[in-house]
Structure 1
Amino acid sequence: MVSFYLVMRVTHERGIDYEAVDYATQDPRALFLSQTILGVLGAVMDEATDIVSSLYALAKHKADLTFKELFISGRTLGQEIMGPLINVLVLIFMAEALPMTILYLRDNNTLVYTFKYTLSLGVIQSLSSAIGIVLTVIFATLCSALFLRNKKAEVVEK
């Protein structure tokens, strides 16, 4: 949500047209925000779960890992997961706009005009989602490494 807000603030919502949701009686910004959050939520939860469970298994298998080693392992794993997740979300958001894009192009609209009115929302959603996925790698890895390091310290003390 923070990444969505940052993207919207930086761009001052220029080039974003909410005509696709004109039929709705609710605020189009709120609908767009909720659509973006729901789109990225599954990917972020999947990514965080993969990182946390993998680091837990690694720490359980090799108990002498330092915080730095755990963090580097989590970051490496996150980088491997990040690319495919971003690609999937970009394709989902763009596929959603594809029927409307085809209609605009069939009506002899220019490519620039068509992009402005159909794909601009998908680009913003994709950018916000990509930022969220990248930040998830950092936070999930950091929290897991800290927790697992503290957990190892508790086990050693007992």
Structure 2
Amino acid sequence: MNVLVWLGVILLVLMIWVGGKSGARSFISLFFNFGVVFFTMFFMLDPNANPILITFIACIVIGCVSLFYINEVNSKTVMAFISTMITISILLFFIVLISKKLMIQGFGEEEEEAIAGMSLYIGVDFIKIGASVIIMSTIGAIMDVAISIATTMHEVFKHAPSLSKKELFKSGVSIGRDILGTDTNTLFFAFFGGYLALLIWFKDLHYSIGDIVNSKIFSSEMILILCAGLGIALVIPIASWINAYYLVRAREKLNKV
């Protein structure tokens, strides 16, 4: 416990040193978002609840905390929030459809020993729960790209206010291309870092490549990475267009005045 406390203190000091008040709010937001995730899990235990709707509401709250609480309410955070919610809405429909087709819900045979003494008849829809997990895992990466594009495009427009909507959109997409590769690789290596022990276990059990690929645990995590990658790729043009539209519209209104 002492190690966790000291690591938390070191993280807080570094975040305040680098980010000042924004860094302190970022640290506090970690606990707020943890609380949102905890209460989301609590409400999902209700058999009459809709996990998809609960997850979408949770994403809205997480978006407000991560964007508005940390960076305050301004045009950049509002545009990033709108872009994130539009992307999540599109991705949510796609993920539910994919989850039903691939049947990756539930537990894999590798987890049978851990759940041997537990009842699986808990009255919840594992398909929707699985889709909710994927959505909750992707929102962070999507928000990161959305705010990065919004901030950069506002800076570009600040120094070149005569740019047209098309030119601003191209600038946003160009920025997004550089972010796309790094964020996708981050998700990929986060999976292998978190499941390295599982991959070693696969090796000890002499799993073939086909067995590994068809394993429910491996497949569900790969679907998570691919869906997160789709979300990152999708939010780039959405955020670019929304920011370009807003900036040009704001300039036109200012010129009329």
Instruction: Provide TM-score, normalisation by structure 1.
Output: 0.84
Structure 1 residue matching 2:130: 3-state secondary structure: helix
Structure 2 residue 173 is the aligned partner of structure 1 residue 85? no
- What corresponds to 2:245 in structure 1? 146
**Counterpart for residue 3 of structure 1:** 91
* AA partner of residue 198 (structure 2): M
Contact kept, 8 Å, 2:103 with 2:127, in 1: the verdict is no
Q: Unmatched 5+ residue regions in structure 2?
A: 1-87
Q: How does 1:101-140 map to 2 (within 5 A)?
A: 101-117=199-215, 118-140=217-239
Runs of 4+ in structure 1 deviating by more than 6 angstroms, as ranges, are: none
Q: Say whether the 8 Å CA contact 2:176–2:236 is kept in structure 1.
A: yes
Higher relative contact order (CA 8 A, sep 6+): 1
Residue 9 of structure 1: CA displacement?
3.2
Which shifted more, 47-56 or 6-15? 6-15
Alignment pair present for 1:76 and 2:164? no
Letter in 2 for 1:134: A
Q: Deviations over 1:54-92 (max 9, x none)?
A: 111111221111111101111100111111111111222
1:58 to 134, 137, 156: 156
Which residue identity does 2:151 align to in structure 1?
A: S
Stretch deviating more after TM superposition (112-121 or 8-17): 8-17
Within 1, Cα distance between the matches of 2:92 and 2:189? 18
The number of residue pairs the alignment matches comes to 158
Q: State the AA in 1 paired with 2:102.
A: R
The CA RMSD measured in Å over matched residues stands at 2.5
Q: CA deviation at 1:11?
A: 7.8
Contact 1:51 1:77 survives alignment (8 Å): yes
Q: What letter corresponds to residue 232 of structure 2 in structure 1?
A: I
> Distance between the aligned counterparts of 2:92 and 2:185, measured in 1?
18
Report the CA distance between 1:3 and its aligned residue.
3.2
Amino acid at match of 2:225: S
Cα shift readout 1:81-136 (whole Å, capped 9, x = no counterpart): 11111111122234333322322321233332133223211211111111111110
The one-letter code of the counterpart of 1:128 is C
* Runs of at least 5 residues in structure 1 that lack an aligned partner in the other structure: none
1:147 partner letter: Y
Partner of 2:256: 157
For residues 150 and 130 of structure 2, the distance between their equivalents in structure 1, rounded to whole angstroms, comes to: 30
